[in-house]
Amino acid sequence: DLFNKIASSCFSKCASRKHREPDLSLGEMSCTDRCVAKYLESQQRVGEILQKANEA
């Protein structure tokens, strides 16, 4: 499912492996926000390309 893919991918990329604090740091939050936005944008673009290919 899309949510699980995004959560797993972005958490692996952005969350510190040390987990010193229970909350995400500002850097981790920024990274996660950018990661999710890019992931969703890429999914939307792929969907648009596939839709155009089906219309042709």
Per the model's pLDDT, the better-predicted residue between 19 and 6 turns out to be 6
Integer Cα distance of 41 and 14 in angstroms: 18
At residue 16, the pLDDT reads: 78
- What pTM value is reported for the model? 0.78
Cβ contacts of 6 within 8 Å, gap of 6 or more:
35, 36, 39, 40
Q: Which domains does the chain have, with CATH numbers?
A: 2-55 (1.10.287.810)
At residue 13, the pLDDT reads: 94
At residue 11, the pLDDT reads: 92
At residue 14, the pLDDT reads: 93
Read off the pLDDT of residues 13-50 as tens digits, 9 standing for 90 and up: 998 777 788 888 999 999 999 999 999 999 999 999 99
